[in-house]
Amino acid sequence: MLVAEGIGKRFGATVALNEVGFTAEAGQVLAIVGENGSGKSTLMRILKGELLPDSGTVQLAGKPIASNDPRVLLVHQELAQCPHLTAAENIFLGLERGFTFSPKRRILEAQQILNDLGFDHISASAIAGTLPVSSRQVLEIARSIAQNAPLVLLDEPTSSLTSEEKTKLFRLIGRLREEGRLVVYISHFLEEVREISDQVLILRDGERILQQATGTLTDEQIVTAMVGRTISEIFPRSHRGYAPDAGLAPSIDVSGVSQADGRLNEVTLQAFPGEVLGIAGLQGSGRTELLRAIMGLDKVASGSITVQGNAVTHPTASWQQRVGFVSEERKVDGVHLDLSLTENVHLPSRRGMMVKDRVEDLAADDWLKRLSTKYAGTQNRVRELSGGNQQKVAFARLLNADCEVFLLDEPTRGIDIGSKTDLYREIDRVANEGKTVLMAGSYLPELLGICDRIAVMSRGSLVSVQRASTATPESILKDCLA
């Protein structure tokens, strides 16, 4: 049994947690939900003993949590692995006892664990760095089995999993529960919370809003508790007068595009001014590759892409022709974490030789305010913002560059509902202004909620293009799996 009482934690002037308390029984799955910045991750780190709370206590089975308590396993949102070691070595890293080590036996044991989990397609002798991201996430979870910890903390573990792998992960969580372990689970996805959790703990701005059995709450109630607004307000969408047969010239014209290794395979697609065209597909379906090719970030082997009537060459030219891109990998190439907000907003659109600090600051401030971004000052580093606000900075670049074409690769991945809604509202706004939005996503309610048409990709090929008004999650999913 896990008992937390009166936990408070401050970072400087920011109150991350204020008098948060809850209890959870062994053999339960407790979901912690809340917007980014609500204190979930801080609470997780306190439960693991990585952080000491300023006030309050945490007890597991009657004993207080020690610093980096071995009874607790925390599976991080970001992968913490040694890419040059094998999967087996990663699973047992730090758990080795004794002086000698038998790689062969370790691989057998690791394979046994992976097979038990239903991930027998992952080879325990594979080098971790060569595995796809989703498989590496599984390795993290396999560690918890190897470590035999009574308390398992999962911080958004599904963010890089395919739906098939997600199902397997849920089965595994079910197994952990049956074994009498306590699983604490952070997720942004309400469906997941509903599917696997027994209890929900909702945090908002570092405060505990409620803790209740999951079954007794509706989605509406959960969202309202999280953000203080109702679910019908999540996908703001004006009535856009979109008619694809109006004879407009396409703003994006992709014709028979292929890339090496079948990453893209004869893709033909057109997008028109004033529409939001979604690209649905699983991880590795080619949706990111397609967007990157349209931006000129990656070369294509054959076929042609024209945007705004110009053949695509290089990202520099694309930005000059007012085509902008938001990456799904915020930390890899989405934003400059260590540069200021202003710097990030203006990087793609600087033309002259001189930089005008005052003018840039004011402009950045304007765009960021329009997106309801929360920040202390435009000269602060982007690293200091929450994920949702970082993503708004990336989006503000396109507004500042006065883009006509918005290429958005899963722009709302891993950000809180409030920030998502702000971005949806802005996407709706620019589409109304006659701009073209091409948006890849894996979260179907989102695509159905804000797109006009949805193109479905699978294994590098375009399977179908469906009207959002008539499409259903089932009809899209069927084509995703084609």
Tokens for 481, please give them.
Answer: 């799996």
| Residue 355 makes contact with another protein by CB under 8 A | yes
Other beta carbons within 10 Å of 359: 11
Residue 181 and residue 150 in contact, taking contact as beta carbons nearer than 8 Å: yes
H or E element in which residue 203 lies: strand 199-204
| Residue 50 makes contact with another protein by CB under 8 A | no
Residue 59 and residue 65 in contact, taking contact as beta carbons nearer than 8 Å: yes
| Residue 343 makes contact with another protein by CB under 8 A | yes
> From the CB of 377, what's the least distance to another protein, in Å?
12
> From the CB of 179, what's the least distance to another protein, in Å?
37
| Residue 263 makes contact with another protein by CB under 8 A | no
Q: Which is nearer to another protein, 12 or 241 (CB)?
A: 12
> From the CB of 303, what's the least distance to another protein, in Å?
22
> From the CB of 327, what's the least distance to another protein, in Å?
6
Closest by alpha carbon to 17, among 206, 186, 172, 150? 206
| Residue 133 makes contact with another protein by CB under 8 A | no
Tokens for 243, please give them.
Answer: 């008619």
> From the CB of 268, what's the least distance to another protein, in Å?
25
| Residue 347 makes contact with another protein by CB under 8 A | yes
Residue 151 and residue 73 in contact, taking contact as beta carbons nearer than 8 Å: yes
Q: Which is nearer to another protein, 78 or 384 (CB)?
A: 384
Of positions 339, 465, 477, 481, contacts another protein by CB under 8 A: 339
- Alpha-carbon torsion (129, 113, 78, 414), positive or negative: positive
> From the CB of 319, what's the least distance to another protein, in Å?
4
| Residue 384 makes contact with another protein by CB under 8 A | yes
Name the residue with tokens 């679910």: 231
> From the CB of 397, what's the least distance to another protein, in Å?
7
- 230 burial via Cβ count (<10 Å: 0-12, 13-18, 19+): exposed
| Residue 78 makes contact with another protein by CB under 8 A | no
- Candidates 89-97, 183-191, 314-322, 466-474 — which segment interacts with another protein by CB under 8 A? 314-322
Tokens for 450, please give them.
Answer: 């804000």
| Residue 15 makes contact with another protein by CB under 8 A | no
The angle at the Cα of 190, spanning 176 to 479, to the nearest 5 degrees, equals 95
| Residue 374 makes contact with another protein by CB under 8 A | no
Distance from C-alpha of 338 to C-alpha of 320, rounded to nearest angstrom: 25
| Residue 338 makes contact with another protein by CB under 8 A | yes
14 forms bridges with which residues in the sheet? 11
Of positions 279, 297, 307, 447, contacts another protein by CB under 8 A: 297
Of positions 2, 87, 139, 335, contacts another protein by CB under 8 A: 335
Long-range contacts made by residues 62-65, C-beta under 8 angstroms, separation at least 24?
A: 62/1
- Would you tell me which residues interact with another protein (CB under 8 A)? 11-12, 295, 297, 314-320, 325, 327, 332-339, 343, 347-348, 350-355, 357, 383-384, 397
